[in-house]
Every structure is written in C-alpha cells, then in structure tokens.
Structure 1
Amino acid sequence: MPPTSRPGGPAPGRSPIISHPTLRALLAACLFVYVAQNMLNASIAPLARALGLAEWIVGLAISSAALFVTTLSQFWGRRSVAWGRRRVMLTALSLALVAGTLFALAVALRSAGVLGVGAAAAVIVVARGPFFGAAVSAIPPTGQTLIAKITPDERSRVAGMSAFSGSIQLSIVVGSLLSSLLGSWSILAPVWATPVCVALAFVIGWAGIPRDRPRRPGQAGEPAGEARVGAGVRQVEGGAAPLTAEEGPDRGPRAVLPPRLSWGDRRVLPWIGSAFGMFFAAGVVQIIIGFVVQDRLGVPPQRAVPLTAVMLLANAAGAMLSQLLIVPRLGWPPRRLMRVGVSGALVCLAVLSLAPTLWLMAAATFCIGLANGLVAPGYSAGGSLAVRDEEQGAVAGVLNASASLTWIFAPVTATALYGWHPAAPFVLALAVLAVSAVTAWTARALRA
C-alpha cells in the first residue's frame, strides 16, 4: 500500500530526506543534465541564424523532443522498476551524452563549411529532438521512482519531489546565465559545454546512485496476489494479464516489467486534471512573453531580448524559491499545495494579462513561478501516493508525460492566437487554468 503521513509527525521545517546521500546525488546529476538542456535551448535560435538554418528548424527540434518525452516517459518509468533505477539513469545519461556530442559536431562542421545546410539541419533536429528528448524523458520518471523508494511517508515524499522539481528550475537559471556568459566569448562555447555537463552528470550518477536489484517475480515485499508468475499469466487488479516477453515463464530469472497505468486511471486522473492547467498556462507565458514585452513596452527586438530574459528568470526564480525553500518548510499535504497553487496562479495570470509596466509583468511572472512551485511537487507526490509500490514507475511516467504534453501544442497554439489577438492566448490559458482550479477543489481524490 502507498505510504501515508502519520498523525503527530514532526513540525513544519526542513525535512531530513533532503540530507539523504542518494537524493543529493540524484539532484546534482539532474541539475547538470538540465543545465545542458537549457544551454541548448538558449543557444539554438541564435545558432540557427548564424548557421543559415530556417527558423522552423528550432520549432521542429523542440516539438519533436516534447513528443518523445510524452511518448516514452512511461516506457522508462516502468523499466526503472524492472531493470533498476541506476541502470536506467545511466543509460539515459549515456544517450544524452551521445546526443549532445552529435549536436556539437554538426554545429562545428557546419561552421567550418564541411557540412551542408540540409545535412546540418537534419543532424541538429535529430540530435536535439528525438535523440535528446528520448534520453531526457527517462530522467523525471526514474528520479521520481527513486524518491518514492527512499521516502517512507507523505511529508518526506513531498519534500523529495519538491527538491527534485526545484533542481530542474535551478538548472533554468544556471543554464541561461552560463549560456549568456559563454556565448559572449564564443557562440560555439555553450554547444561544447553541453556534453561536458552531461558527462559530469553521468559521473555523479555513477558514483552516487546505488545499485538496486531489478524487480523479480515473487520477490519479498511484493504485495500478495498483485503479481504472480505462473502458467504465463500475472494476477493483476481486475483479472489476469499475459506476461510480457521480458517476464515469460521460460525466460528464467529475468526482471518482471510492472503493469502499465492508464491516463484515465481514477486514482491519478484527478491529479492530472488539477495540474494540467498550471502546466499549460506556464507554457503559454514562456512562449509569448517575448512578444508581450515588445508590444506593451514598445521596444525594438534587440532591446526586448534582455527584458524577456528578465521575465523568464523571474518565473524560474519564483518556482525555484518555492520548491527548494518554501514547500519543504510548509509541510503541506499534496492536495493543499495543489489548491493554493492553481488558485494563486489564476489570480497572477489575470494580472499578467493586463499588466502595463515591466515591473508589474515581472512581479506577476515571478508569482506564477511561485504558484507553479507549489503545484509541481504536490502533483508528483499526490500521484505517487495514490498508487501501489509496483506502479511507481508507471505513474511517474504518466505524470511526466502529461506535463510534457503541453509543449507539443502550446507553442503553436499560443503564438497563433497571439497573432490573431494579443489577449486570446491569455483567455485560453485562464479558461484551462480555471477548469484545473475547480477540479482541485472538487475532485474526490483530492478531498480524501
């Protein structure tokens, strides 16, 4: 059964799980690999112009990466339980290292005139899109299953998930600043720094994430009656299901692949519905804020670049502050984090949609980041606590995929609506966020 919080637990304050050496290694590895990703994100658009590539190449690379993250998250999450978290994490980091190196080589060869425009574009899209996306898609679900394994109760689960999400937000700040500093020296410097950061993440993961045994048929600690191997079937909730090729009775002691989890599972769907509006709104804000700054302040594109960076950093700083400092000290259960987060985001997004000055826009985006920082760990911990131990990999994959889903269609939807009318994307985001707020306050799963 999933762990729950104990009455009379410790008073709000810093959770001891933060000092767990495995969690610290996970956070450090996660920080470096996402710093690498954010350096690529910050440099890919200027690189496309410098290399003579069309602007749509950038959109294709990012959207295809999001598609692979959405598609493969549950694949990796289930295998993190079946194969072991260390094995999946190191596999993912190895793939990311190869992808980052291919990207850097393609850029260098194109800069030297060795590679043509078409070939360079193809390699860049494949390396940054499907290849890097497939690798990075393993990290959130694997990290969440590892946190679920080392956290015994609700309070520590929330603190661990909050620290994990906070490390990703910190990587946005560090990656953006590092890319700016390196880019002022050479436009190729952030590109070559990317595989270096991934290599550091691999070393940290290799040294700090302990070996764990893959999940075996009938192993000790497995809930009775929920996974039984024999005569080619497994006993699961609702009946018997055929074993996969990785767990057939004639395959010997190979690891059992946990069952899949449906996006419509009634235990998890309310958490997805409560958070989806937050993720969609955050994606819309990040995509159109550069246009908003130019149009409302009447500044030229060159001056809008640093102002847009200020807005994005304010958003990331709010989320980072919330996840690394505020949530661990509040000690709130997941449902309260969700309710306060989506409700606060609804108010802040309404303010941003009408804000006429730079500082009011920056304050609103900072507060949206704070709200996102409450929702993200509540979402991850709540969904994790709603399912059984053997479903942790599957639920982590579903939660990560649903969060990534917004990046497949939010960019094109938001920009198309903004071109039609500047208020349109805000109206859509507010409507979706309002539905999530209603879900957070009324769903039975969040009232329990």
Structure 2
Amino acid sequence: MARVAVIGAGVVGVASAYMLCKAGHQVTLVDRNAGPCAGASVRNGAQLSYAYGDALASPSLLKHLPGILLGRDPAYRVRLHADPEFLIWGLRFLANTSSARYLSNTRYLLQMAAGTRSLLQEVLDEFQMDFDYTVSGKMILFPTAASFAAAQSGYALKTSMGIRQQMLSRDEATAIEPALAHYRDEIAGVVYSPDDAAGRPSEFCAQLIGHLTASYGLRTRYQCEAERLLTRKGRVHGVMFRNYETLDCDAVVIATGYGTKLSAPFSPAFSSVWPVQGYSVTLPATEGAMQTSITDLKRKMVFARLGDQVRIAGMADIGRRRFAFEQDRFAALKEGAQAAFARGFASAEEQDAQSWSDARPCTPSSRPIIAPGKSRGVFLNYGHGTLGWTLCLGSYRETAGGHARPRNLTDTPAPGRALATRHSKGEENERQD
C-alpha cells in the first residue's frame, strides 16, 4: 500500500482518488478551496457526453475563425494580445485544426469517455448515490442542411467505434423529445445518442468522497494550498503547503485546474494549457422542459435536465489570463436560452436562478495532459477543458497505464505498473521542487 496525495478535488481529482482507493492505496485528497468541486466542475454543463467528445480545434472552427475574431459569433470571444504564452498556445491550437489531427484527437477523447462510462457504472454498483444522474440521451440540433450533411463523417467515425447514434429528422426527434416542438428556429436534422447521460458533478464528488472516507479511509485537506514537492534522489516523498504541515507520501497525482496563482510544479507547463471561460445558469424546470440533453449548435449552448432544474451552459471566452464574471456575457447566455427554449424553464431573473462562470483548462489538442512528472512518483492528470466531467474516470484509467483497476502507480515513464518502494528517511540529497 502506497501513500498517495491527490492535488485538486474537482471531478478529475475525485475520480483519481476513487481509483487509487480501489487499488488499495492510502489516499489524501487536497484542495485549496473550502470543499470539493469548487472550481470549473461545480456548475459545468452537467452532460456526460460519451458520444460527443469532439476536439475543440477542428476544420469547422477554423472556417469560422475570421467571423469569430471579428465578433460575429456571440458564442465565442477571442481577445488577441501580445502574451507570448497565449500566442504559442494559439498557434498550437491552429495546428490541431487539420482534419487528420481533429479525427485523431476526437477518437482519443471518445475512447477515454467510454472508459468513464464503464467505470461510472462500477461506482454506482458499489455505492448508493443520488446526483440527479439519468441516462437521458443527447440530441445535437443542426441548423442547416449543410451542417447536418457535414455531420455524416462524425456519425460514421462514432458508429465504427461501437457508439450508438441515430440521424433523425425534426419530426422523428420531436417524437422522442417533445420539447423540440417549442424550439423556435429551423432544425435541419438531429444526431441522437441514446446512451449519453447527465448528472450533477458537485453532488457526485461530495457523495463519493463521503463513501470513500467511510469505506476506504480517504483523508481530505481543504483550504490547503500546495507550495512545492519534496524529493530525494529524484523521487517524491512529500508535499509542502503554505498553510499546513508537510504531507509525507510515496506518490502524487496533480489534478489541478487553471489557476494564475498556482506555483510549479502544480501549474501547467508553458503554453500547454490556457483558460477558456464559460458560463452557466441553473433554473427551475417547467412542464415544457426537456428530458433529453440537448446541444444547440446554432447558439453553441447545452441544456441538461437535472431533477427539477435545467442546467444551461455555453460561451467560450479565450485570451485573458485573468478572468472575471462579465455581465454582458451572462446576459447573452440567458438571451440565447430564452430564444431557444423559453417554455422549458423559469425566467433567469428569478431569485432562485444559479449563475456561474469559471475557466476550463484547455490544451491545444483538447487531449488532457496525462503523463509522469519530472520527479519519479509524480503524475499529471489535468487539462480536460470542457470535457472534465465526461473524461474524469477514463482519464485516470489512462494514467494507470490503461488498466481499469490499477493496482499500482509507477516511477517509470509509462505510469501505472509498479510503485517503487519509498526511500528510507536516512537517505541524503533531499531537494525541494
């Protein structure tokens, strides 16, 4: 049994803690916030998009990039400025918009999403949990005949991977999801994925941590900011904190989001990750609310039913290193939601509307960074972008060398095979990273 510290208690960190506990390790989950799932995970789009893990960088996005830069697409806002890291990240992003890279990245993400789907069922088989989880299916609404025809290639890729999808007319889709009858704009066609799901990631994290604490002895440290790793002869043996006693450990999984105050090695490598800010609002559902998750491609917004509420999310603001809630962007989200499905939820002006904004840590390829760190026993698992909820369990399986039930961590270049024994306390050459 190894002592493992997981830095970051969002959905990816909690999923990592679950897999490590199942493998028999002694796990301590650490977060700088007052509780789990307090950053980019807390009120994200809530969709578990097993069939729609498409990479953000795509030929389609490249085609529309001039209009985005000119401010003609309300869903995107790009601020160009002379930050070297942003410029390099942007160039790397553009390099991933080729058809070959887009397909390769999307296939990789879909395989990882499939891992989450199977492992989430294992979690639900073991623990009784209520986080408004439903396998409600997902519909992607295509506004034009051309866009629906272009979806054929993605449909072919996904069905070839064993993903169930159907290409439907508006009438066929409305027979499954009656809320589409109230959609005000044209729908040229719908791609329906019946096995996609939705659920509240914040409740999932809180309840899973409770079960892991009771059943596996998980330990937690909140409001605890990691400052540096302690190593001997190139191997980690502890984590030092700014406001807490040092934590001795044999391995560390870094599952942090994007934070301007994170210090190395907890911050991403130069130009590997950039914040993409998004917004959401959670509103009381009405009788006309959708049951199926919906992605409105015209407005680039997602709608997910969560019990007696509807979660609406969208917007992608790129460019600023330091982000803040912008009322005009939130207003655009609300206006778009009302224009699409006004009968499905209460007014966003009511007091019980839950607004949210945060930055998702995005890589140029949309592939999360899953790799060993510079010191032995350190592993990176971050950069999931808008797909953190969908990829959380599958990405830890990748961290663990592709095994669904990893028994060990490793200090080898390919993580997941064997956790080397910890050096004795008498060894010399200790250093702080």
| TM-score calculated relative to the size of structure 1 | 0.26
| TM-score calculated relative to the size of structure 2 | 0.27
**The structure with more strand, counted as a fraction of residues:** 2
